[in-house]
């Protein structure tokens, strides 16, 4: 077994552990949640993590592919922890909560993208799916990408019914949803 592949497997597992920990250590739960969507997210996350770890372990990756996967994992983890540091003082509610936003975060990675946590997850899943090219990893990553796209749209809709509606519109006009948009930033 390639030692780099073992390092990749461990880093993937640590990333997934961070994502799991965030449910309890980063986000707050509310009394109102879409339990079906939240349950689908939990099952989908577990299936995706299992598929990705299995894919990394079982796939025949070259040294270059392993190195690329390590870069993807580091970028994903870096964005995740940067978003965590930006929200440490003001904890966001957990995905699919049906609350009204009480604040708007536009610091750290939120200065560049509106959904850095989801972006970090998608970079991780899609990157591993593309590298392993295993159908079940691709399927799991695709499912989770759709879940995060739906979650992001729902969260943006919550802002349209909040005291931060105008501030959010201005913020959304200058930032990309999942990836920085330099054209929008220059225009604002």
Tens-digit pLDDT string for the chain (188 aa): 678 888 988 888 898 888 888 877 788 777 766 667 667 777 878 888 888 788 888 888 888 988 998 999 999 999 999 999 999 988 898 888 888 999 999 999 999 999 999 999 999 989 888 888 889 889 989 988 998 999 999 999 999 989 999 999 999 999 999 999 877 655 55
Extract long-range pairs of 163-168: CB within 8 Å, 24+ residues apart: 163/100, 164/101, 164/103, 164/104, 167/104, 168/104
Number of domains, the chain: 1
Whether 92 maps to a domain, the answer reads no
Whether 93 is covered by a domain: the verdict is no
Provide the pLDDT for residue 133: 86
> What's the whole-model pTM score?
0.88
Distance between alpha carbon 109 and the CA centroid of its chain, in Å?
12
The pLDDT of residue 131:
85
Residues spanned by the domain of 39? 3-24+33-87+98-187
Q: Which residues contact 89 (CB under 8 A, 6 or more apart)?
A: none
CATH number of the domain enclosing 78: 1.20.120.1630
- Which pLDDT value is given to residue 98? 84
**Mutual angle of helices 116-132 and 135-159, in 10-degree steps:** 170
């Amino acid at each position: 077994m390639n030692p780099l592949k073992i390092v990749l497997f461990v880093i993937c597992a640590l990333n997934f552990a961070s994502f799991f920990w965030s449910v309890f250590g980063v986000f707050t739960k509310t009394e109102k949640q879409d339990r079906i969507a939240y349950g689908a997210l939990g099952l989908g996350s577990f299936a995706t993590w299992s598929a990705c770890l299995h894919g990394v372990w079982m796939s025949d990756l070259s040294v270059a592919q392993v190195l690329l996967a390590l870069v993807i994992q580091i970028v994903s983890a870096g964005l995740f922890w940067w978003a965590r540091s930006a929200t440490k003082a003001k904890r966001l509610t957990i995905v699919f909560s049906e609350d009204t936003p009480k604040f708007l975060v536009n610091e750290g990675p939120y200065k560049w993208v509106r959904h850095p946590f989801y972006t970090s997850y998608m970079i991780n899943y899609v990157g591993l799916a593309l590298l392993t090219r295993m159908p079940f990893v691709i399927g799991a990553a695709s499912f989770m990408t759709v879940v995060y796209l739906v979650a992001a749209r729902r969260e943006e809709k919550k802002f349209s019914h909040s005291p931060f509606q105008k501030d959010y519109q201005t913020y959304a006009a200058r930032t990309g949803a999942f990836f920085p948009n330099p054209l929008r930033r220059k225009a604002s």
